[in-house]
């Protein structure tokens, strides 16, 4: 069966520090991968999605970047965190066609 792993679960980072969040999927090949952010009291905002290794689409201009070094690995990064980067980050996967999403358990990021 397919599983998705996301870590760390919580992270407290100072302003200006770098960030690396990792997401991996097991049990499927060539998934579509997504990074979402959920700010407090707000809806889900799509940040990046990827349909294959090295293929990244960005939905909004921001202080973050994403990479997909392997088929089932998706990484969210920042060189210098801002206070506004605080939020709940969710990774998800899907496949082409008439399928839905499966989400990871999320990372709570607090920038102080």
Partner 1 sequence: KQEVTQIPAALSVPEGENLVLNCSFTDSAIYNLQWFRQDPGKGLTSLLLIQSSQREQTSGRLNASLDKSSGRSTLYIAASQPGDSATYLCAVRAGGNQFYFGTGTSLTVIP
Q: Strand locations in 1-112, DSSP E?
A: 3-7, 10-13, 19-26, 32-38, 44-52, 55-58, 65-70, 73-78, 87-94, 102-103, 107-111
Count of residues near partner 1 by CB under 8 A: 25
Taking the complex as a whole, the smallest distance from the CB of residue 12 to partner 1 amounts, in Å, to 15
Q: Which of 15, 39, 34 is nearest to 87 (CA)?
A: 39
Taking the complex as a whole, the smallest distance from the CB of residue 20 to partner 1 amounts, in Å, to 19
Please tell me the distance from the alpha carbon of residue 58 to that of residue 69, in angstroms, as a whole number.
Answer: 16
Within 21-60, the residues that bind partner 1 by CB under 8 A are 32, 34, 42-44, 46, 49, 51
Taking the complex as a whole, the smallest distance from the CB of residue 102 to partner 1 amounts, in Å, to 7
Please tell me the distance from the alpha carbon of residue 59 to that of residue 47, in angstroms, as a whole number.
Answer: 5
Stretch that binds partner 1, among 16-24, 65-73, 74-82, 85-93 (CB under 8 A): 85-93
Binding positions for partner 1, rule: CB under 8 A:
6, 32, 34, 42-44, 46, 49, 51, 88, 90, 92, 94, 96-106, 108
């Amino acid at each position: 069966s397919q599983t998705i792993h996301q870590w760390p679960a919580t992270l407290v980072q100072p302003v200006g520090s770098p960030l690396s969040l990792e997401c991996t999927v097991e049990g499927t090949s060539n998934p579509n991968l997504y990074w979402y952010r959920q700010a407090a009291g707000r809806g889900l905002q799509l940040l990046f999605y990827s349909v294959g290794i090295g293929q990244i689409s960005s939905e909004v201009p921001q202080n973050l970047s994403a990479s997909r070094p392997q088929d089932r690995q998706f990484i969210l990064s920042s060189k210098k965190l801002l206070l506004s980067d605080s939020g709940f980050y969710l990774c998800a996967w899907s496949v082409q066609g008439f399928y839905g999403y499966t989400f990871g358990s999320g990372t709570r990021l607090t920038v102080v």
